[in-house]
Structure 1
């Protein structure tokens, strides 16, 4: 049975509540955009300074534009108590573009539940690898899932330099 044939996957987490994993819906766009902004501005403070975080996420993305970006990929969302708590995307070639969790849910199993759904889906459609350009925070998470760093790189956003990591995991 494919992951899309199941209404959602349920998994308890360390907070004692259930995380439900399902496919992105258009009505999730506003909450997903806010999670992105909060994850950058609150969740990434250990790794990026204020100027870097502001360059990365100038403002909360427009929900229509964010909806279109998430619909252009396979997007899994995690909910808990009917609230969106995270999401992760997967392109047809195995690229993970976006992986964000609400800052108050970092380290509670949300990212792991999302990742398991993404990796399962990638294997189902025959991807030979998963890869991403990961932030410092995502790098730690992906390394725990068996990923390798291919290279560290510096990118520029709005004239500000940010470090991220090209990473991959071979599948199969």
Structure 2
């Protein structure tokens, strides 16, 4: 069973692992090794990562008490991070997180959620009712990665 918890700083290291391994094992299908290495580098400043997680305060999906995914919702409706553990893909983790985000958005009076979505995640977002607003190239550590701004209007 998937349980959703609020972020606490003790989760930061687990979330780095989810982020790193998802990009390196899943996103590698649609991006080059140089691109995924730039996106999820081997060496990261742990303090910088902790500061990022403290800033976005993601929701954590857990199975048997172990984090298997995380996602956030910012005040303007931005979903900045949305990652499911590479070994827990297609097991309902992403859907549970997205439904929670939509529920939280409605509670906060946010009528539109949006994200910068990877090529890999685009089909999932489309299944969840998002539409592409624009196609873009973003630069990450001197690599150019294609992604999509996608949005969903909530009723």
TM-score scaled by length of structure 2: 0.95
- Structure 1 unmatched ranges of 5 or more: 1-17
Residue 45 of structure 1 pairs with residue 20 of structure 2: no
- SS of residue paired to 1:72: helix
3-state secondary structure, aligned to 2:90: coil
Which residue in 2 is equivalent to 1:67?
50
* Whole-angstrom distance in 1 between the partners of 2:147 and 2:130: 14
Answer whether contact 1:34 1:60 (CA < 8 A) is retained.
Answer: no
Q: Which has the higher contact order (CA 8 A, sep 6+)?
A: 2
Partner of 2:111: 128
Q: 1:140 aligned to 2:123?
A: yes
Aligned pair count reads 155
Residue in structure 1 matched with residue 144 of structure 2 by the alignment? 161
- In the other structure, the counterpart of 1:76 is 59
Matched, 1:29 2:12: yes
> Which ranges of structure 2 fall in alignment gaps of 5 or more residues?
none
The secondary structure found in structure 2 opposite 1:120 is helix
In 1, Cα distance between the equivalents of 2:138 and 2:12? 26
Change (3 A) 1:60 1:114: farther
